[in-house]
Amino acid sequence: MDFIKKVQEIERHFPLKDYTMTSKMCLEVVEQMLRYVLQHQETRLGESTQLRIREAENFIGRGEAHLDQFSLWQLIGVFRKARFVDAWELASGRELSGIRLMNLDELPRLHKKFFHDQKSATRTEAELLLYCVHVLGETFELVRASKFPALSLLFSGGELQ
């Protein structure tokens, strides 16, 4: 999956001040990133993590649905139940405070707000969701923030236009 192109597309929306579309795109990419790391990065983490992911998938999907069919809320549930962040910290030898600081439980609420309730996003919500994309992408080595001007500017304390 080419997350770089997806993030570049998101960045094209910031100058347009289309914060709702930017937020929606960020939420879609977060969902895709979570699904991707749960499906493809597990081999890096060892047998016990793979087993926890399968068990969480079976529990949350009730033995009928699978990761590729899960909603954002369900993916976050697998992510937590499988203790994925703990396993990644152990495998990578890095502390993942960025992900631990993110309130993943709020993401499905925002998804509902923008996709189902058709509410508008604020600039702050769009920036925070872009930050989530950045943290997940950097943490799981899917994208590098330095390749994206808006991400680099946002996270260096600059002002997005």
Report yes or no on 161 lying in a domain. no
| pLDDT tens for each residue of the chain, 161 residues long | 789 889 888 988 777 889 999 999 999 999 999 999 999 876 688 888 889 999 999 999 998 888 999 999 999 999 999 999 999 999 888 889 889 999 999 999 999 999 999 999 999 999 999 999 989 998 888 887 555 555 554 544 445 44
Report yes or no on 106 lying in a domain. yes
Provide the domain limits for residue 14.
3-155
CB atoms closer than 10 angstroms to residue 39: 14
Report yes or no on 77 lying in a domain. yes
Number of separate domains in the chain: 1
pLDDT of residue 21: 95
The secondary structure of 37-76 as a DSSP string is: HHHHSGGGG-HHHHHHHHHHHHHHTTTT--GGG--HHHHH
Report yes or no on 160 lying in a domain. no
CB 15 within 8 A of CB 122: no
d(CA 123, CA 145): 19
Report yes or no on 13 lying in a domain. yes
d(CA 140, CA 33): 9
